[in-house]
Amino acid sequence: MGRMSTTTRTLLAATSTLALGVTLAASPTQAASADGDYVALGDSFSAGTGTFARTDSCYRSPFGYPALLAGQQGLTLDYQACSGADTTDVLTDQVGALDAGTDRVSMTIGGNDVGFADVLTECALPGWISDCDGEIDGSLRTLRTVLPGRLDQVYGEIAGRAPNAEVAVAGYPYLFNGRDCSWLTFFSGREMARLNAGTAELDQLISARSTAAGFTYVEVRDDFAGHAVCDAQAWINNLTFPVDESFHPDRAGNRAYAAAVAPALGLAAAPVRSLAQPPAPPAPEPSVRAQAAVVLDMDLTSTAHLREARAAGVNPGEVRRAVAKLRSGNERVVREGLAELQALDAEHAADPASRG
């Protein structure tokens, strides 16, 4: 298969949802005392990515669910979670904060281990130039053959270092509701269903292995029902700028996580509405021209991509005409071009022959 330009692939990769960001080295942020009674481990879903409130290279938002819990419950928080972390990063950089005096531990981990960033990046492309199924299949192989052992190692290390702690291990929410409402992505209904199914399988594994380790698993998919990307009251950001905020729970989503995790840590249930609700800046809406520029950078009219379009049953002439509209000085024409590319992708997705 052909590949889009490096610039566009980098842009989309930075959005990675279950991906949860790019791993960056950083010193942990501690709220107060050295021994702290609450340690937050994990990836960007625990670091609060998506709340538009980055504090360092690991993100560690004051509106991430660990910070919300600590603030409401009067806990001392040792914020170890880091955007982009996988199980190796937790073992190398985070578990050193645990000891016999640690009272509570929470975490989300596993999404980066199965390469969901690459999966999302591939599946976001127009179907005639992507290998979404291949990426999902590869991710599932890792999930089924490699991740169980990695999770067991992480959970065993936590249990050994913090034998007296209440440990809550949260899963991930479904990202999609079956509708793609962005001009910049080309997720088909079938692709979104497979991505959600992959999330469910990941959650099931995390639940089984964390429970076997004696920890409390926190299911959040039901909590996020009706709040996926493109829902009227979404708690997960769509593709937005800055791109690293994309496909992560927003401030309302982090309040939902806090409410779900609290009981698992032996804390009083925290109704979502009772948690701090500081005003959040609205997710920046990129201009139509900015969106068109991103799609233009996919280089859909390159010889290789037009050849792939023809092979997939997509009319190369229609691709050329739609892309040409993206360069128009008339915003209405630009919108038409974006809509036409979405329609071509939908037609391709609806054709059983396009899937071999």
Query: What residue spans define the domains of the chain?
Result: 6-274, 288-355
What pLDDT, on the 0 to 100 scale, is given for residue 241?
84
What pLDDT, on the 0 to 100 scale, is given for residue 116?
83
Mean pLDDT of 123-151: 97
Mean pLDDT of 52-65: 96
Query: Which of 77-86, 114-123, 274-283, 295-304 has the lowest average pLDDT?
Result: 274-283
Mean pLDDT of 13-41: 50
Which helix (H) or strand (E) element contains residue 254?
A: helix 251-264
What pLDDT, on the 0 to 100 scale, is given for residue 300?
97
What pLDDT, on the 0 to 100 scale, is given for residue 117?
81
Mean pLDDT of 169-179: 97
Closest listed residue to residue 132, CA positions, set 140, 120, 117, 143? 120
What pLDDT, on the 0 to 100 scale, is given for residue 242?
85
**pLDDT confidence of 17, banded at 50, 70, 90?**
very low
pLDDT at 272 over 70: no
**pLDDT confidence of 114, banded at 50, 70, 90?**
very high
* Residues 84 and 20 sit within 8 Å (Cβ to Cβ): yes
Burial profile 254-284: b = 16 or more Cβ within 10 angstroms, e = fewer: bbbbbbbbbebbebeebebeebeeeeeeebe
Mean pLDDT of 283-301: 88
What pLDDT, on the 0 to 100 scale, is given for residue 151?
98
Mean pLDDT of 231-256: 93
CATH number corresponding to 6-274 = 3.40.50.1110
pLDDT at 102 over 90: yes
For 331, other C-beta atoms within 10 Å of its C-beta total 12
| Both structure tokens of 22 | 């790019």
pLDDT (tens digit, 9 = 90+) per residue, 30-44?
443 334 499 999 999
What pLDDT, on the 0 to 100 scale, is given for residue 33?
37
Angstrom CA distances, 238 to 57, 216, 222, 349, stand at 22, 30, 19, 21
**pLDDT confidence of 154, banded at 50, 70, 90?**
very high
Q: How many CA atoms lie within 13 A of 27 on its CB side?
A: 2
**pLDDT confidence of 4, banded at 50, 70, 90?**
very low
Percentage of the chain beyond pLDDT 70 is 85
pLDDT at 171 over 80: yes
Where in the sequence numbering do the catalytic residues fall? 44, 248
What pLDDT, on the 0 to 100 scale, is given for residue 269?
73
Average per-residue pLDDT for the chain: 88
What pLDDT, on the 0 to 100 scale, is given for residue 85?
97
What pLDDT, on the 0 to 100 scale, is given for residue 281?
61
What pLDDT, on the 0 to 100 scale, is given for residue 21?
44
What pLDDT, on the 0 to 100 scale, is given for residue 268?
83
For 306, other C-beta atoms within 10 Å of its C-beta total 20
Percentage of the chain beyond pLDDT 90 is 79
Using the structure block, give the residue that is written with the tokens 């059983």.
352
What pLDDT, on the 0 to 100 scale, is given for residue 51?
94
